[in-house]
Amino acid sequence: MSRAAIRYAKAVLSLAQDKKATEDVQKDMQSIIATVSDSAELRMVLSSPLIKGEVKLASLREIFKGAGDITQKLFDTLVQNKRVDLLGDVAKQYIVLFDQLNNTQVAKVTTAVPLDKGLKAKVLSKVKELTGNEATIENIIDEAIIGGFILRVGDLQYNASIANKLTNLRRELSN
């Protein structure tokens, strides 16, 4: 994450706090993250030095029609400063800052199959017990782990996957 992206995200959060719109901006930022990560074409447009700033700004305004004023001003600022390629990073950093502000965090749970509601509730209570903070769950599906799960919360990682247990067993047997 570049320091510039962090500075832009802090400025957006500060403005959103002043306007009492942190949650609305957070929804915009989640939409930006999803759209930018799903669209290779959009990433190419934003990073291309051959495409004029006005075209990039018009594209962003069209793609994110429903975005609020603060998000629209972010588009303007990034285009004016020729830093629009940072948009995805700014959005990600905003989410991190927003979560810190609200004492929440994202728990990334990697499983072989999607989590059901019962398991989600158990994971959320375990995260609260371990960290003392509320969390939201991002479920990543990876069939390569065979079974079990991998839980990541901030810097903490707990690997209870079958693939990890097999790897550890293989190491023990080869020694």
Give the percent of the chain with pLDDT over 90: 54
User: Is it the case that residue 1 has pLDDT exceeding 70?
Assistant: no
pTM score: 0.68
- Residue closest to 58 by CA, chosen among 39, 75, 36: 75
User: Is it the case that residue 145 has pLDDT exceeding 90?
Assistant: no
CA distance 142 to 110: 6
The reported pLDDT for the residue numbered 164 is: 85
Give the tokens for residue 116: 């059901």
Question: pLDDT band at 70, cuts 50/70/90?
Answer: very high
What φ, ψ does residue 149 adopt, rounded to 5°?
Answer: -160, 165
User: Is it the case that residue 68 has pLDDT exceeding 80?
Assistant: yes
Over the stretch 85-144, which tens digit does the pLDDT of each residue have? Answer: 999 999 999 988 998 888 877 888 888 888 888 888 888 888 888 777 778 888 889 988
Average pLDDT, the chain: 89
